[in-house]
Amino acid sequence: MKRRLFYTKFASPRYERRWIGRWRWEIRDGLGGITVLASGHTLTERGAHRRIERTLRRCEQLTWTTATDRPVLRPLSEAEACLICALLQHHGVPVDVSLCGVAVVVTPIAELTTEQEVRALTAVLDVTDAPVRWAGVA
């Protein structure tokens, strides 16, 4: 089974003829969407229609009301949390990264500068899309 495709606005299919015997198709998130969900090439216009129809069956809309309602597509493992913690501490960012269920908890060990906070948050969000919580911050 192929992987599911998730969109937030709506799936917008389009196709165009590149040259004789070459049709390019793609499905984007929204009309002017930057995110391309799927794309490909076929030999005929009918082939492009069939590929789009088949791919649209795999598309699902992400709907949530709060950040904790959305599904976590890339969960963080305990080993990855330890690796991120070690890399951040190696680069001079004194934080501890742990997991609380699916959420990621970042605990500062000492007072952090703005640049260190940004570096810690970027390191975590590059690996996962799980909710991130800062511990010890009011």
Identify which of 36, 43, 53, 54 has the alpha carbon closest to the alpha carbon of residue 18. 43
pLDDT tens over the chain, length 138 residues: 677 787 777 888 888 888 888 999 998 887 777 778 888 999 999 999 999 898 888 888 876 655 556 677 788 889 999 999 999 999 999 999 999 888 899 999 988 888 999 899 889 988 888 888 888 764
Per-residue confidence (pLDDT) for residue 67, from 0 to 100: 56
Per-residue confidence (pLDDT) for residue 138, from 0 to 100: 44
Cα gap 19→17, rounded to integer Å: 6
